[in-house]
Structure 1
Amino acid sequence: MISRLFRLLYNIFFCIAVPFLLLFSIAFLLWRIVFHPKDYSIKKDVLSTIKRLRDRLALYQKIKEQKPVIWYHGSSLGEVLSLIPLMKEFKKHYDHVQVLTVNTVRGEAIALQKKAADYLFFFPYDAFFATQKAMRKISPKIIVILETEIWPDFFWQAAKNHQPIIIVSGRISEKSFPKYYLARFFFHYVLQKNYCLMRSEDDAKRMKLIGANPQNIKVFGDIKYDGLQTDLSEADKKTLSDFPQKKRVIVAGSTHSGEEEILCRVFKKLQQDFQDLCLILVPRHLERLEEVQKTVSSYGLDFCLRSQLPQQQSVIIGDTYGELRKMYYISEVVFVGGSLVPIGGHNVMEAACFAKPVISGKYVSNFRRHVQSLKSCHGIRIVENETALYEAIISLLHDADEAKAMGKRGQKVVLENQGAIKQCVDFLIPLAK
Structure 2
Amino acid sequence: MTILLASYRGLTRLSAPILRALLDRRLTRGKEEADRITEKQGIAGVARPNGPVVWCHGASVGEALSILPLIDRLLAHDSSLTVLVTTTTVTSARLMAARLPERAIHQYAPLDHPLWVERFLDHWQPSMALWLESELWPNMLKTLKDRQIPAVLINARISDKSFATWQRFNGSVAAMLASFQLCLAQSSEDAKRLTTLGADTVDCLGNIKFSAPPLPIDADAASALKAAIGDRPIWLAASTHPGEEEQIVEAHQHVAEHYPDLLTVIAPRHPNRRKEIATLLDETGLTWCERSPGTLPGEDDAIYLADTLGEMGLLFKAVNIVFMGGSLVPIGGHNPIEPALFSCAILHGPHMDNFRQIRQEMTDMGALREVGDAEALGAAVTNLLGNPVQATEMGSAAHQAATAQAAVIDHVFERLRPMLDTALAQQKAAS
Whether TM-score is above 0.5 comes out as yes
Q: Select 1:77's aligned residue among 56, 61, 64.
A: 61
Three-state SS of the structure 2 residue aligned to 1:307 is coil
The structure-2 alpha-carbon separation of the partners of 1:60 and 1:356, relative to structure 1 and needing over 3 Å to count, comes to closer
Aligned length: 412
Structure 1 counterpart of 2:318, one-letter code? I
* Aligned equivalents of 2:105, 2:120: Cα separation in 1: 13
Partner of 2:240: 255
* Aligned equivalents of 1:118, 1:343: Cα separation in 2: 30
* Aligned equivalents of 2:61, 2:279: Cα separation in 1: 26
8 Å contact kept, 2:334–2:354? yes
Shift of 1:212: 1.1
Three-state SS of the structure 2 residue aligned to 1:290 is helix
Partner of 1:37: none
8 Å contact kept, 1:199–1:222? yes
* Aligned equivalents of 2:47, 2:338: Cα separation in 1: 37
1:403-422 mapped onto 2 (5 Å cutoff): 403-422=391-410
Partner of 1:271: 256
8 Å contact kept, 1:248–1:332? no
- Deviations 1:108-151 (Å, cap 9, x if unpaired)? 11111123453321112222212222222111111111111011
Partner of 2:22: 24
- Deviations 1:14-53 (Å, cap 9, x if unpaired)? 1222211212323454x46xxxxxxx8xxxx99x424222
Structure 1 counterpart of 2:58, one-letter code? G
* Aligned equivalents of 1:6, 1:397: Cα separation in 2: 55
Partner of 2:172: 186
1:62-211 mapped onto 2 (5 Å cutoff): 63-65=48-50, 67-95=51-79, 96-116=81-101, 118-194=104-180, 195-211=182-198
Q: Select 2:202's aligned residue among 210, 217, 238.
A: 217
Partner of 2:361: 373
8 Å contact kept, 1:22–1:53? no
The structure-2 alpha-carbon separation of the partners of 1:7 and 1:181, relative to structure 1 and needing over 3 Å to count, comes to closer
* Aligned equivalents of 2:98, 2:46: Cα separation in 1: 21
* Aligned equivalents of 1:166, 1:248: Cα separation in 2: 46
8 Å contact kept, 2:68–2:100? no
The structure-2 alpha-carbon separation of the partners of 1:179 and 1:322, relative to structure 1 and needing over 3 Å to count, comes to farther
Structure 2 unaligned runs (5+)?
422-431
Partner of 1:326: 314
The structure-2 alpha-carbon separation of the partners of 1:365 and 1:54, relative to structure 1 and needing over 3 Å to count, comes to closer
Question: What TM-score does the superposition give when structure 2 sets the normalisation length?
Answer: 0.89
Percent identity, aligned pairs only, is 27
Query: Please, which moves more after superposition, 385-394 or 48-57?
Result: 48-57
Shift of 1:165: 0.9
Structure 2 counterpart of 1:430, one-letter code? P
| Superposition CA RMSD, Å | 2.2
Shift of 1:242: 4.1
Q: Select 1:236's aligned residue among 218, 229, 233.
A: 218
Query: Please, which moves more after superposition, 419-428 or 385-394?
Result: 385-394
* Aligned equivalents of 1:64, 1:109: Cα separation in 2: 21
Three-state SS of the structure 1 residue aligned to 2:126 is coil
Partner of 1:292: 277
Shift of 1:7: 4.7
8 Å contact kept, 1:77–1:322? no
* Aligned equivalents of 2:135, 2:276: Cα separation in 1: 30
8 Å contact kept, 1:253–1:284? yes
Structure 1 counterpart of 2:349, one-letter code? G
The structure-2 alpha-carbon separation of the partners of 1:270 and 1:53, relative to structure 1 and needing over 3 Å to count, comes to same
Shift of 1:60: 5.4
8 Å contact kept, 2:229–2:297? no
Shift of 1:9: 2.2
Question: What TM-score does the superposition give when structure 1 sets the normalisation length?
Answer: 0.89
Structure 2 counterpart of 1:372, one-letter code? Q
Partner of 1:35: none
Partner of 2:428: none
Q: Select 1:392's aligned residue among 367, 380, 392.
A: 380
